[in-house]
Chains A and B, each alone.
Chain A
């Protein structure tokens, strides 16, 4: 955990730059906090706050299935991924080619005080940490990537997100010291209605 060199903000900025008009981005927990800070938000950004921890990939799967012409990014923490590991099997069973799941693995439950997860080496009494990319590969995801260096992620990101989907990307990032949880950027009912309207409005394609 402590030897991770990629910072969460830097990792998220790569996605922020690559995200195209019409793409959907679902963020939760720490990724939501960083995405809000990088603002302004796009109508197709879904800040999944409040959430049911672990459900961001499942929510994104539903969006991807109902909006097959849109690319859907889901950003999830490692603690959240552990809480809903079955989603990796569910998603690969449905195999939506428009879904990109990014797991930001810092080894800790960051927003509750950086306690180690049971998937991290520290939380496993020094045993090897859980390898999410290997789990995704075993679940049959067609494209699986793992990066621990920001420069490598920057160099490979465009090709990675355009690989045959669904795409799984594990980014090993360093915890943010003293980080707090994200705040909802507005009333949920209003946000839900606006998000659904944005998602279901006819896409305007450039000539």
Chain B
């Protein structure tokens, strides 16, 4: 849906300083552009639970991190995000790949479609769903609204393949 340069430029415009990530086949294509973009630093972690804690540390240190993971990583990292955004009330923003949303050719019956949005609701994370390129501005708008309010938020990026 988006080219890496589009996303890197957007994140830079938003004021993001660090993108903490575990890639998937969609959001992973953005990594090289993010890593090259002036003012952005890509931090590769091994597992998504790490991402929230690294982002928390970055936030404490005055940086403006963003967590970039797939929805499966959201499922994996529940306790860490609970700690960061609910125990410590840190306004960490995330961009989350929504596996199989646009089609399920690779993984028919993918249960990511069953659980992703209810899990975000359960974690009390306000999110926006982006299903087309024309919505790129919604990422920036939701980010600014959340950061301005001092609360966490997320954007789901609809993905077309597993």
| Contact with A62, one of B49, B59, B79, B87 (Cβ below 8 angstroms) | B59
Expressed in whole angstroms, the Cα–Cα distance for A63 and B46 within the complex equals 18
Expressed in whole angstroms, the Cα–Cα distance for A76 and B130 within the complex equals 39
Q: Cβ of A58: which chain B residues have Cβ within 8 Å of it? A: 45, 49-50, 53-54, 57
- Given A55-B49, A55-B80, A65-B18, A50 contacting B87 (CB threshold 8 A): yes
B44, chain A: closest CB distance, angstroms: 6
- Given A55-B49, A199-B60, A90 contacting B18 (CB threshold 8 A): no
Of A128-136, A144-152, A160-168, A188-196, the one contacting chain B is A188-196
Of B30-38, B61-69, B103-111, B119-127, the one contacting chain A is B61-69
In the complex, residue of chain B having the shortest beta-carbon distance to the beta carbon of A51: B83
Determine whether the beta carbon of A192 is less than 8 Å from that of B89.
yes
In the complex, residue of chain A having the shortest beta-carbon distance to the beta carbon of B58: A62
In the complex, residue of chain A having the shortest beta-carbon distance to the beta carbon of B18: A65
Is A108's CB within 8 Å of the partner chain B?
A: no
Determine whether the beta carbon of A192 is less than 8 Å from that of B88.
yes
Is B29's CB within 8 Å of the partner chain A?
A: no
In the complex, residue of chain A having the shortest beta-carbon distance to the beta carbon of B81: A52
- Given A67-B62, A87-B46, A200-B62, A62 contacting B83 (CB threshold 8 A): no
Is A3's CB within 8 Å of the partner chain B?
A: no
Q: Cβ of A192: which chain B residues have Cβ within 8 Å of it? A: 60, 88-90
Q: Cβ of A189: which chain B residues have Cβ within 8 Å of it? A: 88-89
Q: Cβ of B79: which chain A residues have Cβ within 8 Å of it? A: 52-53
Q: Cβ of B61: which chain A residues have Cβ within 8 Å of it? A: 62-63, 65-67, 196, 199-200
Determine whether the beta carbon of B46 is less than 8 Å from that of A52.
no
In the complex, residue of chain A having the shortest beta-carbon distance to the beta carbon of B17: A66
Determine whether the beta carbon of A94 is less than 8 Å from that of B43.
yes
- Given A94-B43, A192-B90, A61 contacting B62 (CB threshold 8 A): no
Is A158's CB within 8 Å of the partner chain B?
A: no
Is B27's CB within 8 Å of the partner chain A?
A: no
Is A60's CB within 8 Å of the partner chain B?
A: yes
Expressed in whole angstroms, the Cα–Cα distance for A154 and B79 within the complex equals 36
Expressed in whole angstroms, the Cα–Cα distance for A192 and B90 within the complex equals 8
Is A185's CB within 8 Å of the partner chain B?
A: no
Determine whether the beta carbon of B62 is less than 8 Å from that of A59.
no
Expressed in whole angstroms, the Cα–Cα distance for A55 and B65 within the complex equals 17
Is A86's CB within 8 Å of the partner chain B?
A: yes
Determine whether the beta carbon of B60 is less than 8 Å from that of A62.
yes
Instruction: Add 18 more A-B contacts to A58-B53, A62-B63, A196-B61 (CB < 8 A).
Output: A46-B60, A50-B83, A50-B87, A52-B53, A55-B49, A55-B83, A59-B57, A61-B57, A62-B20, A62-B55, A64-B57, A65-B57, A66-B57, A66-B60, A86-B47, A87-B46, A89-B46, A199-B60
What would be 23 A-B contacts, judged by CB atoms less than 8 Å apart? A55-B49, A55-B50, A55-B52, A55-B53, A58-B53, A59-B53, A59-B56, A62-B57, A62-B58, A62-B63, A62-B65, A65-B43, A65-B54, A66-B63, A84-B50, A86-B45, A89-B46, A94-B43, A192-B89, A196-B59, A196-B61, A199-B60, A200-B62
